[in-house]
């Protein structure tokens, strides 16, 4: 795993750089102007969705055969990074579209792929992911949501918690126990649930510290009947597919963390060059220069880890589990540190909403928590190390 001597692990091509410029232009012109209001009003960033759809950036990972643009994993990370640089809530549109569709891409039949991937690729629908429950967070195998087979249908009962973009998405990949007496973790199956399915509903939006523009709600299933042909993968394979999904999508959370950290560093750097104390710009003081140097150094290390992990995701490398966890864990820890330091560099100004760094600090916190807490990431990494 750590003995790879191939140092050409990723390469940023001219196409990647052109993509970054294109996404940055859209983000700065069409998304950034609304970021503060989206946060203040806790409203879905419709302007961002419209802009991303117009540019085909809302789900760039979907293959061309399903009406997508077929962006590779690194390109998808670049999209998420650049959007997160100005608005983390908006970056959850492409990130969660990948999270929701990845089980379908990895495990579904051709019929399910052909039905559900094209609408997302065309920007006609979004796709969310239902794994966690109130009593089954890190311990995903402890879930209680049930799916009982009845003829050519399954009947779902239970709930899912902390579902990103719930209520806005049209489709949901949902994990449910199909064999209550079966082996733990091997008795869970994945299904696609549609927003208008009878018996499917949503809880009230959560009131959150950050990412306020991305609705987080519970999913409720009350005798929700869905056709059996909406199964993703085989019976009992749901948790395996879910964990394979996270190997890939943790990389995108790393990209999100890199993006918000870059946004905070950019803003803080511009501020300290303009702010004057004791007759000169505070950027001239060595103590602040050391802070900026550490911020930039750690950010670049995090970016390199994310890009390597993205390339491993694209290739399906055997050591993706370690690198995906490492990229997500390190980048999110760095993002929390950099955004906090950015607030410090602005002093009192950093603590008020006139400047975006306080929002960036609040938004960065979630990257250490969702898609597996960083404590869980360290467990995942340690297991891989011990396997050799």
Our answer to whether residue 371 is catalytic in this structure is: yes
How far, in Å, are 45, 89, 162, 204, 299 from residue 208 at the CA level? 16, 12, 11, 12, 26
Q: Which residue has the tokens 């890199």?
A: 258
Taking the mean position of all CA atoms in its chain, how far away is CA 293?
Answer: 28
Alpha-carbon dihedral angle through residues 101, 106, 112, 118, given to the nearest 10 degrees: 50
The residues with which 17 forms a beta bridge, in sequence order, are none
Query: Which segments of 108-174 does DSSP mark as H helices, in order?
Result: 110-121
Q: Are 254 and 328 in contact (CB under 8 A)?
A: yes
**Please, is 280 exposed, middle or buried when counting C-beta atoms within 10 Å of its C-beta (0-12, 13-18, 19+)?**
exposed
The residues with which 171 forms a beta bridge, in sequence order, are 127, 194
Catalytic residue IDs? 371
């Amino acid at each position: 795993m750590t003995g790879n001597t191939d140092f050409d692990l990723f390469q940023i091509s001219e196409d990647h750089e052109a993509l970054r410029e294109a996404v940055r232009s859209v983000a700065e012109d069409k998304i950034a102007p609304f970021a503060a209001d989206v946060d203040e009003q806790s409203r879905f960033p419709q302007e961002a969705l419209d802009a991303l759809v117009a540019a085909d950036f809302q789900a760039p990972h979907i293959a061309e055969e399903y009406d997508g643009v077929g962006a590779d994993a690194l390109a998808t990370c670049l999209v998420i990074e650049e959007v997160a640089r100005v608005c983390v809530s908006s970056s959850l549109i492409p990130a969660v579209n990948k999270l929701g569709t990845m089980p379908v891409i990895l495990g579904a039949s051709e019929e399910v792929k052909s039905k559900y991937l094209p609408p997302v690729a065309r920007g006609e629908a979004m796709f969310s992911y239902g794994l966690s429950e109130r009593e089954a967070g890190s311990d995903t195998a402890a879930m209680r949501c049930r799916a009982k087979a009845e003829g050519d249908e399954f009947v779902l009962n239970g709930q899912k918690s902390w579902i990103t973009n719930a209520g806005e998405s049209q489709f949901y990949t949902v994990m449910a126990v199909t064999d209550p007496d079966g082996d733990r973790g091997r008795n869970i199956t994945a299904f696609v649930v549609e927003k208008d399915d009878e018996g499917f509903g949503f809880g009230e939006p959560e009131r959150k510290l950050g990412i306020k523009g991305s609705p987080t709600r519970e999913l409720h299933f009350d005798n929700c009947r869905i056709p059996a042909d909406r199964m993703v993968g085989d019976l009992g394979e749901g948790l395996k597919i879910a964990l394979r999904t996270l190997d890939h999508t943790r990389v995108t959370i790393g990209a999100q963390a890199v993006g918000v950290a870059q946004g905070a560093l950019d803003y803080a750097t511009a501020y300290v060059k303009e702010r004057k104390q004791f007759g000169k710009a505070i950027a001239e003081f060595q103590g602040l220069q050391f802070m900026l140097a550490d911020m930039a150094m750690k950010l670049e290390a995090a970016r390199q880890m994310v890009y390597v992990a993205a390339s491993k995701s694209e290739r399906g490398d055997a050591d993706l589990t370690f690198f995906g966890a490492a990229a997500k864990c390190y980048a999110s820890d760095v993002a929390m540190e950099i955004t906090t330091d950015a607030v410090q560099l602005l002093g009192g100004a950093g603590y008020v909403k006139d400047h975006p760094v306080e929002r960036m600090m609040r938004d960065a916190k979630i990257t250490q928590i969702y898609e597996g807490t960083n404590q869980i990431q360290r467990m995942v990494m340690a297991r891989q190390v011990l396997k050799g």
